[in-house]
Amino acid sequence: MPNEEMAQFLGVFLDEATEQLELLEKDILALETGASPDLLQEIFRAAHTLKGSSRAMGYTSMGELTHAMEDVFDKLRKDEIGVSTAIIDALFDSLDLLKRLLEEISATGNSTIDTSVQTENLRALLNGVAQSETHDAIQADTGRGVFQHAPLSETARVALQEAVNSGLQVRRLTVRIADDCVMKSVRALMVLQSLETVGSILATTPEEEAIENEEFAESFGLVLATDQPPELLRKTVLSTAEIVDVIISDPEAFPEPTAVAVPQSSATDAPAEPVTIAQTEPSPSQTNRENPPASADSPAPSRNGTPQAQTIRVDVLRLDKLLNLVGELVIDQTRIGQVSNQLIHKYAGDELLENLVEAASHFARITGEMQEEIMKARMLPIDNVFNRFPRMIRDIAQKMGKEIEFVVSGRETELDRSVIEVIGDPLIHLLRNSVDHGIEMPEERVKKGKERKGTVWLRARHEENHIVIEVEDDGNGIDPEKLKASAVNKGIITAETAARMSDKEAVNLIFASGFSTAKTVSDISGRGVGMDIVKSNLTRFGAIIDVETKVGQGSKFTIKLPLTLAIIRGLLVRLASGVYVTPLASVQETMKIDRDQIHTINQREMILHRGMGLPLLRLQKLFYADVINDPLETGETETDPESLYVVVVGVAERRVGLIVDSLLGEQEIVIKSLGKFIGDIRGISGATILGDGHIALILDINGLLTIALEEKAKAYVS
């Protein structure tokens, strides 16, 4: 294959191979819990596809390995061997190697990784369990000229029936290759290939893989469904060099044709009808509505009739660009809407302007729909992230000697690509944590009167404008007292603070930085990535994480994610220094308070709100403390107006009231980064362009909460 052509196919190959690997992984996991004929069939097919495509691309070592895997699946499928841990492990081992191979191929275009160890391993397993296994069909082919065709498999018979029903002739061919031919398998494959152009091959003797491996003497057989006359078939076969002879026999030779599992009774006698069927118009009795006669341009009816979804692959960068453009459009649309509204107020009754307003509102609707459609195009089912977890859980559990049932639900929940990209790592950590720290050892569980097998749940679902993901286990739970003690030990909090903490607050200590309750740093979790990193990673893109736990009964981590990271609804507020956006997701309420309601406790301003102390944050002062010449004591109550606007924002249990100059209303905004030059600013997560072209900064609520609740009075000094 020429190089350019190869490069073109490489992308497709990699995409497909990755899909097949994912499928294999899922299926092998399922296999471990129980085999079913459908499952085995699916696995076999996946391995077979993978083998075929890797060989076609010239990655021989990959082909070898997948071939060995395929053989294993074949034996499993035929019930010649049973599922065992050794086999599953060997298969997973091979799968991992295949993944590495694909990575290498995708990076360099070549495969250099040696697969012989895994291949041998699989082969050894096969030989160990089925030493006596040989190809019956091949043995039958020892005597020259006395070629025995293998009986048709169930699938081949169904295919045959379908072919006959659609008016094709079915022929059995016996092809003999010259004695002195050096590479018989190549010749044989060439014959098969050339026949595929004139018909559809239903079965071969021996099987195609065996032919590829040259596991036949000088003859091989095949069953072909075709609409071409025998002379042409003969010519086609003999056009390949070193083919000595071909015998084309009538389908009458087929044994047991009636056993076919096709319901139409009229069709059962069809295989006995020779050549004539196709030449003449099929009689009405042989035609049925489901299977109209095949026309000349479709010689081989598709073997699986399931309609394929009409999809194309699109570069994600292109989608990203489209989304950006629509983002710009939304901004312009808002602007046009504003201007036309202002105009109509100024010149009410002007017909031209009414036209403009009408067009503007239509424009707004179209833009909105367009935005929605593009957002949808970027949506992926969360299974894209979830599908790697079952394997991970299995591996960890096995390593630690724990028994775990992993229950996943809501795989089909769709969310934006941008969210998919960032959610993986935090989930890995949470799941590892559940297996490592949550679920107890089997004996311990039995002692506690629990089931021996622990359960870890992973759930995803839509909830209003959010995606909720839960990681739950029925393990040990988190002991707040232990956490407190540990936090005091590590100097994260003082003993005094610990004593005052509620259980809920104490449990939240696991998110404090520098905290890890595991006594030893195990291989599984505690590899330097603590829950604090998980939390900060999540909160950076607007997600909220919460934990509920009951000692001895288990823990549940709940993550609330925005549907997309690109567009949010926000509440616009005005400060002296400009307009700011508060993400609506974290706004609890807004209110107007009297300045007399503000109390100063420990140099911090608070109000009593719903029976609780609510700390207040003066944004203007917080952001520009150094610019304002006021002394650093709290409150500038003297200069305050009679009443103040407060936006109560909160995440989980934490609340803070932001004092702002005025409230400007809600709006959908497109999030833009402030860029690398400005970098990360505590309390600001980005910017957006408003309808009037002005820029508004987006408040980072988590950053503000941290400033308000952790740095306490220090925040005012900085």
Partner 1 sequence: MSTAVLEQEEQLVAFKLGGETYGIPISLVHEIIRCSEITQVPRTADYVRGVINLRGKVVPVLDLRLRLGLPPMEETRTTRIVVVEVENGIIGMIVDAVSEVLRLPMSQIEPPSELVASIETDLIRGVGKRDQDLVILLDIYKTLKVHLE
- Where on the chain is the footprint of partner 1 (CB under 8 A)? 328, 331-332, 577-578, 623-624, 672-679, 681-684, 687, 689, 693-697
- What is the distance between the alpha carbons of residues 700 and 542, in angstroms, rounded to a whole number? 8
Q: Which residue in this structure is represented by tokens 């608070």?
A: 606
198, 228 contact by CB (below 8 A): yes
- What is the distance between the alpha carbons of residues 469 and 107, in angstroms, rounded to a whole number? 33
- What is the distance between the alpha carbons of residues 403 and 394, in angstroms, rounded to a whole number? 9
Helix 417-433 with 531-540: angle, nearest 10 deg: 160
Contacts by 703-706, CB closer than 8 A, 24 or more apart: 704/617, 704/619, 704/622, 704/649, 704/656, 704/658, 705/649, 705/650, 705/651, 705/654, 705/656, 706/682
**Alpha-carbon Rg of the chain, whole angstroms?**
35
* Alpha-carbon separation of residue 147 from 15, 138, 144, 156, 288 (angstroms): 42, 9, 7, 19, 36
- What is the distance between the alpha carbons of residues 565 and 541, in angstroms, rounded to a whole number? 7
Least distance in angstroms from the C-beta of 634 to partner 1: 19
Q: What is the dihedral of CA 83, 89, 92, 97, to 10 degrees?
A: -140
Phi-psi domain of 68 (left: phi exceeds 0; alpha: psi -120 through 50; beta: other): alpha
Residue closer to partner 1 (CB basis): 81 or 568: 568
Residue closer to partner 1 (CB basis): 134 or 577: 577
Least distance in angstroms from the C-beta of 92 to partner 1: 43
User: What burial letters (b/e) apply to 537-566, b meaning 16+ CB within 10 Å?
Assistant: bbbebbbbbbbebeeeebbbbbbbbbbbbb
Least distance in angstroms from the C-beta of 28 to partner 1: 45
Residue type at position 589: E
Least distance in angstroms from the C-beta of 704 to partner 1: 12
Alpha helices in 109-202 (DSSP H): 116-129, 136-139, 154-165, 184-196
Least distance in angstroms from the C-beta of 671 to partner 1: 10
Please give the helix or strand (H or E) that residue 688 lies within, else none. strand 684-689
507, 557 contact by CB (below 8 A): no
Residue closer to partner 1 (CB basis): 448 or 712: 712
Identify whether 609 is a catalytic site residue.
no
Active-site entry in 48, 67, 429, 466: 48
Least distance in angstroms from the C-beta of 665 to partner 1: 19
Least distance in angstroms from the C-beta of 342 to partner 1: 19
Active-site entry in 121, 433, 508, 702: 433
Residue closer to partner 1 (CB basis): 382 or 567: 567
Residue closer to partner 1 (CB basis): 318 or 694: 694
- What is the distance between the alpha carbons of residues 113 and 120, in angstroms, rounded to a whole number? 15
Least distance in angstroms from the C-beta of 566 to partner 1: 14
644, 592 contact by CB (below 8 A): yes
Residue closer to partner 1 (CB basis): 389 or 623: 623
- What is the distance between the alpha carbons of residues 657 and 587, in angstroms, rounded to a whole number? 10
Residue type at position 718: S
- What is the distance between the alpha carbons of residues 418 and 615, in angstroms, rounded to a whole number? 34
Sequence length of the chain is: 718
Active-site entry in 25, 32, 64, 70: 70
- What is the distance between the alpha carbons of residues 437 and 601, in angstroms, rounded to a whole number? 40
Least distance in angstroms from the C-beta of 341 to partner 1: 21
The sheet that has 199-205: what strands, in order across it?
A: 199-205, 219-226, 169-177, 243-249
Residue closer to partner 1 (CB basis): 526 or 570: 570
Residue closer to partner 1 (CB basis): 608 or 678: 678
Residue closer to partner 1 (CB basis): 684 or 709: 684
- What is the distance between the alpha carbons of residues 14 and 697, in angstroms, rounded to a whole number? 42
Least distance in angstroms from the C-beta of 673 to partner 1: 7
Residue closer to partner 1 (CB basis): 191 or 670: 670
Phi-psi domain of 602 (left: phi exceeds 0; alpha: psi -120 through 50; beta: other): left
Least distance in angstroms from the C-beta of 681 to partner 1: 5
Q: Which residue in this structure is represented by tokens 């086609």?
A: 236
Residue closer to partner 1 (CB basis): 313 or 676: 676
Contacts of 381 (CB under 8 A, 6+ apart): 411, 412, 413, 414
Least distance in angstroms from the C-beta of 606 to partner 1: 23
Residue closer to partner 1 (CB basis): 357 or 684: 684
Q: Which residue in this structure is represented by tokens 């319901």?
A: 263
569, 584 contact by CB (below 8 A): yes
Identify whether 694 is a catalytic site residue.
no
Identify whether 135 is a catalytic site residue.
no
**Residues belonging to the active site:** 48, 70, 433
